[in-house]
Structure 1
């Protein structure tokens, strides 16, 4: 009886609350629905001066009078293209929206006049596979610029790095986050050496160094290339100096297939070998032993000639008295002879002597 009474009392109380607050319940429901719709709209909103295609997951933000990195990138974005926006500086978490991570796979930032890349600039993009930073003017790049890009497979930095940033680039490429990097493009950056010393190239398949200022490749870099046998290095349009310093690289090029464009490599110096293909060089052209022996031979020849000249000068000095008398005798003989010629000339030119002869 007590249980039944409690049940009836509870039901009556509930029915009474529903009769008293029907409008409040409905209002709360509508508020929740509107809040959900607002969130959906915010997530789907396309950034200003951008074109969005949800079906392909592409957001393209090109020059439209708006500067800087677009904010509030939709969560469904898989490809973000930003060009001509005068970004200048990529700050920490530049692409993070309220601290949330994006499932973006491709990020293209080519031709944006980027000058500075700060540490953790790509924080919040752990699933980016391809990053394009080509055709910029990078003056500073932090050592932690690529932190967090643990799934990055392809990095393009063509015509972007100023010569004084080469050391900073090597430090940035040393990031442990780039252990899955498969392709690295550094064409047209006037680099003078291969940035393999600090790069974790265990998974690197392609290294593009076309159109740089590489004159020689030292033995340490050749050793690194030999250890990374899966890496293919593209080196055409570089001004190689075909001298003794190129010996290690020359023999690596002969015995390895890691340089697909080896047939396009040309000598720029010395003048006698300009335009000559590296593959057509002979072993003696880059043989350090022969070159050193030739240099020693020239030095020895110079020493011998100097000694001969010194001996000759000593002989002249010791015989200076005799040489002086000999020169005087020659002078007197020449004077006597000239006087005889002069006397005969005067006789032949006198007309009276000519009449006597007739």
Structure 2
């Protein structure tokens, strides 16, 4: 019995020792094994996992987006790369939906945004595409962003892309958008077919080429009371066509920078704040009445001229006789002056008179 007990006890010690050896080997393997690809920080990028931030700066002539973004990335800042095109699912990792909430792609020379370029980012709240060179924006460029709150497109849109902008910014694509910035793009009008976007609170259109806001858009602005529109640094043409916009500006608080809106034309009103204009300056009725009054005056003067010519024509014989009489009277008077002059010039006649 003693021998059997010793054998059993020795076997138990061996099993425990063998189990600890397995645990130790597994730990060593984990420590020595490479970091998983979904946690790896891309080259030329700085990662801060605690903050969920990945910042990628230019490293040579980079022309592509960094691959294998960590799945924990909530903020991606990418600048200074020569990325000409954003293809479908440009930031998707093997079809995985990222938790990314902020994406900054400014200063990357982006020219084309293809359909579904941001697919796989359903939780994205802020997208910054400022300071690029966009020539084409697909109508479905922003599909797949149901949670997008802020979209920045400042100083990015070239003239060829302006025609595509209204389709890309439709309410169907951006139902939850709160802030839209389109400063410095040479826009001549509000590039939205419909302003009744469900959640839009701020629309930044500063430093563009807007001369007037159409009456239809003014009507929509009155309906969207929560919307704030920023319009400074635009060359407003202060004539009677500005009437609807002028009264909206005076009667509404929807333009926070209203005091900085200046007239650029006509020359007599250049530099004058739009708010300081008089109602007569933009009163189309007064301008129309003034134009009508000038036309009426011209018609009256023309009628007077016609009547005068008709009177002359009808009395042409009497006028001719009157002119002849005046001519004869003038001739007689001149003969008398001539006779007196001859007498005064003869000295003999002067001695006789003495």
Instruction: Give the CA RMSD over aligned residues.
Output: 3.3
SS in 2 for 1:176: coil
Match status 1:163 vs 2:159: yes
Q: 1:335 to 1:219 in 2, by over 3 A?
A: same
| Aligned counterpart for 1:281 among listed residues 277, 280, 283 | 277
Which of 127, 130, 144 is residue 148 of structure 1 equivalent to? 144
Q: Which runs of 5+ in 1 are unaligned?
A: 1-21
CA–CA distance in 1 between the matches of 2:280 and 2:114? 49
Structure 2 CA distance, aligned partners of 1:129 and 1:212? 26
Q: 1:71 aligned to 67, 75, 95, which one?
A: 67
Which residue of 303, 309, 333 corresponds with 2:305? 309
Aligned mates of 1:115, 1:125 — CA distance in 2: 21
**Equivalent position SS for 2:183:** coil
1:43 corresponds to 2:26? no
Show the counterpart of 2:258: 262
* Structure-2 change in CA distance of 1:231 and 1:317 (3 Å): same
Distance verdict in 2 for CA 1:339–1:222, change over 3 Å: same
1:335 to partner: Cα distance: 9.4
Query: Measured at CA, do residues 334 and 225 of structure 1 come closer, stay the same or move farther in structure 2, by a change above 3 Å?
Result: same
State the 1:73 CA deviation. 1.3
Distance 1:82 1:327, change over 3 A: farther
1:192 aligns with 2:182: no
Q: Which ranges in structure 2 are unaligned for 5 or more consecutive residues?
A: 1-17
Q: Which residue of 2 aligns with 1:6?
A: none
Cα deviation code 1:97-142 (max 9, x no counterpart)? 1111111111111111111111101001111111111111211111
SS in 2 for 1:104: coil
Q: In the alignment, what sits opposite 1:134?
A: 130
SS at match of 1:166: helix
Measured against aligned partners, the alpha-carbon deviations of 1:304-351 in whole angstroms (never above 9, x if no partner) come to: 223333334445555667777877888899999999999999999x9x
* Cα displacement (A) at 1:184: 0.7
Count residues in correspondence. 326
Q: 1:56 matched to which residue of 2?
A: 51
Counterpart of 1:216 in structure 2 is 212
**Residues 347 and 80 (structure 1), Cα distance of their counterparts in 2 relative to 1, 3 Å cut:** farther
Matches within 5 A, 1:226-265: 226-265=222-261
The verdict on how the C-alpha distance between 1:127 and 1:314 changes in structure 2, with shifts beyond 3 A counting, is same
Deviation of residue 48 (structure 1)? 2.9
Q: Does 1:80 align with 2:60?
A: no
State the match for 2:116 in structure 1. 120
